[in-house]
Amino acid sequence: MTQASCHGDRSRPGALHDPIPTRPQLVLAGNPNVGKTTLFNALTGSSAKVSNYPGITVEVASGALTLPGGRIADLRDLPGTYSVNARSAEEQIALDALIGLDGAPVPDAVVVCIDATQVARAAYLLLQCQELGARCVVALTMVDEAGAAAPDPHALAGALGCEVVAVTARTGKGLDELRAAIDRALRAERRAVWHWQPGRALRARIDAVTAALPTAWCTATRHGAAVPGADDALALWALTCIEPRTGDPDDDELKVPDALRAAVVAEPAPRDDEAVLARWAWLDTEIPPLVSRPPDRTLTRRIDRVLLHRAAGFAAFLAVMSVLFMSLFWWAQPVIDAIDELFKWCGLELQGVLGAGIFTDFLRQGVIGGVGTVLKFLPQILLLFLFLGFLEDCGYLARVAYLMDRIMRSMNLHGRAFVPMLSGFACAVPALMATRTMERRRDRILTMMVVPLMTCSARLPVYTLVIGALIPGSLWIKSLLMVGMYLFSVVTALIAAWVLSRTFKPLKAKRLPFVIELPPYRWPRPGDVVRMMWSKSSMFLREAGTVILACSIALWALLYFPRHVPDGTPDYDALVERAPSDGARDSLRAEKRAILLENSYGGRLGHAIEPAIKPLGFDWKIGVGIIGAFAAREVFVSTLGIVYAVGDEADEQSEPLRQALRDERDSHGARAYTPLVGISLMIFFALACQCMSTLAVVRRETASLRWPVFLFGYMGVLAWVTSFCVFQLGRLLGLG
């Protein structure tokens, strides 16, 4: 591949970049935990929107910012990063957005957040931005927290060579000055500022690589005029980050032109220490005189003495997690039930207005039922993100990773995967969304692949029905079996994580350092937490909810049409007319529904898949139930209720339904659903990913079809094989 280089082609100035854009493009950069999001929220107000970077699962928030004079600028919040030297996809976004590569708009100015309690470390990122020729403005955050330890903004500005504005986002103090400073920066000339000079050997390497930079990357192209020194910084970045090609397509190596890679690889290693050390040498000389003393961390130390204590810390951890778990499990339930009731009521009212008919059924069961299915996820999503937002912002979530790393790591999971996996006991949907708290894509996806194995609350009605109807023995045995199903799910999830991360290439652990910052404890800002709850919920409704709604309507149609009854079926409508009592009428109606369901497309599909599920001990009726359960696992119960003509109001406690299951006979007149079939069925439900909402959310969170397909496939195979082994082995042992 031949690439025109900076030195080879300067004939297209301004080809990609309009020097006076109608709307200035700004980005907000900074380390994690420096109050970047709070500042972003304060600057953009209600205009912020969260969306995904195309193709990858990194979220970006963007919003509008009003500059002095009424000019509107677009502000994008970058993922928190310590450096622009990318290794992971997340970090590369920061670089792309900072300098406008890979389709990102060229930013006209960069606002760098510097934490007043950690000036030197936060300024490291600023140094890199300055070298790259960005117009930088520093927002000095956490000034109130630093107190007397905060540096004087003017002195800091003098040292760094760019404007520094102290802001307190909570009170809005400094925001206007920051806007004014951004406005001034936008009018300033672009220049690259280097606070250090490369040695002779490094200089020669930089020159060699600068010559190989592709035209599109050069400042002459990006900004319309060459910015002296900025191309060198890009060359230095290339020298630092580009590795020889491994030849492995799954390795997420940086997307760079081959010519540039070749030029970098031709330079001898090591290529990177000098720049890092030189920047730090400069920072260690310039910053300490400006910071009179270290910030007061007594409070954080005191809290950590308890929360990270060997015994007390673990107890506190268990207490926090129990509250989180119980809230998802019990506090959300009344709201979910209320939503359920509300939608049932709406459906009945609608039927009253429109009368019976196919269109009414479509609206009532398909549309209203589907919207209800989507909205029923909201209470748990809101609650989980209320907790997550609080725990993250106060600094405890990072400590969860610290406390749990030893256990989670043995399964190749991130320490932070603990919270999503725990939430998976309530519902996989919010749990999958909670994987966002992990920075790396690989960690997130591995967690998403195992979270759906946890025993979610939708499996409970199925287990309750099966255990209640089919498992003999005392209440003790039944309870133990239920506990056993929970343990089974934890063990399979952990084993699955271990196996997947060892066998499946994209999920293999990379040898990236697991160094996480434990930020000081801070009071979360309710506004930030509410904003996150809002953005997560609205994103769920918009992007996953629509898919779930479409699927539930499709599923309704599958189990509803063609409304054709076989010849020889009694005329139920006439029979209902003549029925002597209400009870008789109800049972006739239920019988009619059972026949309609059996002859629906879904019912025929149940018959069609019978040969495939027969070896697991299931017949076509369970097959129809499994198809219906795709809407949500608990629908299995009501679907069986229709199949057995006990009415779709049957719940897992329904004695007629339980009796019907016990009375079911196979073609030889023997009991169809033995306890062994019950066990096999529960194992199938424990392992199979037959939940369209889970799949819709995985598709949305991974921004790909590949992962939901993989999840459905691997869990389906696992479920079939395990149920098969259990059922067949049990029969061989004479348990059937």
Partner 1 sequence: MTSLAETPLGRAVAVHAVDGARAFRRRLLEMGLVPGTTVRVVTIAPLGDPLRIEVRGGQWSIRRAEAAQIQVAPR
Residue 292, classed as helix, strand or coil, is: coil
Residue 261 or 633 with smaller CB distance to partner 1: 261
CB of 322 to partner 1, least distance (A): 17
CA gap 431, 381 in Å, rounded: 8
Indicate the burial class of 395 (C-beta count within 10 angstroms; 0-12, 13-18, 19 or more): buried
> For residue 395, which of 300, 529, 531, 532 has the smallest C-alpha distance?
300
724 is an interface residue for partner 1 by CB under 8 A: no
403 is an interface residue for partner 1 by CB under 8 A: yes
Stretch that binds partner 1, among 310-318, 495-503, 639-647, 699-707 (CB under 8 A): 310-318
Residues 384, 387, 390, CA angle at the centre, nearest 5°?
145
Site for partner 1 (CB under 8 A): which residue of 208, 346, 518, 575?
518
Residue reference for tokens 């004087």: 152
Site for partner 1 (CB under 8 A): which residue of 144, 258, 289, 314?
314
Residues 478-517 that bind partner 1 (CB under 8 A): 511-517
Residues 204-263 that bind partner 1 (CB under 8 A): 240, 243
313 is an interface residue for partner 1 by CB under 8 A: yes
Residue 409 or 593 with smaller CB distance to partner 1: 409
User: What is the DSSP code (8-state) at residue 355?
Assistant: -
Residue 117 or 373 with smaller CB distance to partner 1: 117
Residue 26, classed as helix, strand or coil, is: strand
Residue 240 or 694 with smaller CB distance to partner 1: 240
347-370: buried (b, 16+ CB within 10 Å) or exposed (e) per residue? beeeeeeeeeeeebbbbbbbbbbb
Residues 107-126 that bind partner 1 (CB under 8 A): 117-118, 120-121, 124
Q: Which two tokens stand for residue 215?
A: 């035209």
Residues 498, 412: contact at Cβ < 8 Å? yes
Residue 415 or 708 with smaller CB distance to partner 1: 415
CB of 116 to partner 1, least distance (A): 11
Site for partner 1 (CB under 8 A): which residue of 59, 177, 405, 591?
405
> For residue 130, which of 218, 220, 196, 193 has the smallest C-alpha distance?
193
Binding mask 284-303 for partner 1 (x = CB under 8 A): x---------xx-x--x---
192 sits in the region (left: phi over 0; alpha: psi -120 to 50; else beta) called beta
Residues 717, 710: contact at Cβ < 8 Å? no
User: What is the DSSP code (8-state) at residue 451?
Assistant: G
Residues 706, 707, 712, CA angle at the centre, nearest 5°?
105
Beta bridge partners of 60: 51
Q: Which two tokens stand for residue 377?
A: 């996820």
Residue 392 or 652 with smaller CB distance to partner 1: 392
311 is an interface residue for partner 1 by CB under 8 A: yes
Q: Which two tokens stand for residue 400?
A: 């969860």
CB of 415 to partner 1, least distance (A): 8
Stretch that binds partner 1, among 47-55, 79-87, 578-586, 721-729 (CB under 8 A): 79-87
Stretch that binds partner 1, among 174-182, 380-388, 403-411, 545-553 (CB under 8 A): 403-411
Cα 594 to chain centroid distance, Å, stands at 40
Binding mask 592-631 for partner 1 (x = CB under 8 A): ----------------------------------------
Which helix (H) or strand (E) is 728 found in, with range?
helix 706-732
Residue reference for tokens 């606070």: 195
Site for partner 1 (CB under 8 A): which residue of 276, 299, 584, 725?
276
Number of residues in contact with partner 1, rule: CB under 8 A? 49
Query: Where do contacts with partner 1 occur on this chain (CB under 8 A)?
Result: 82-83, 85, 87, 117-118, 120-121, 124, 240, 243, 269-270, 272-273, 276-277, 280-281, 284, 294-295, 297, 300, 304, 308-311, 313-314, 398, 401-403, 405-407, 409, 511-520
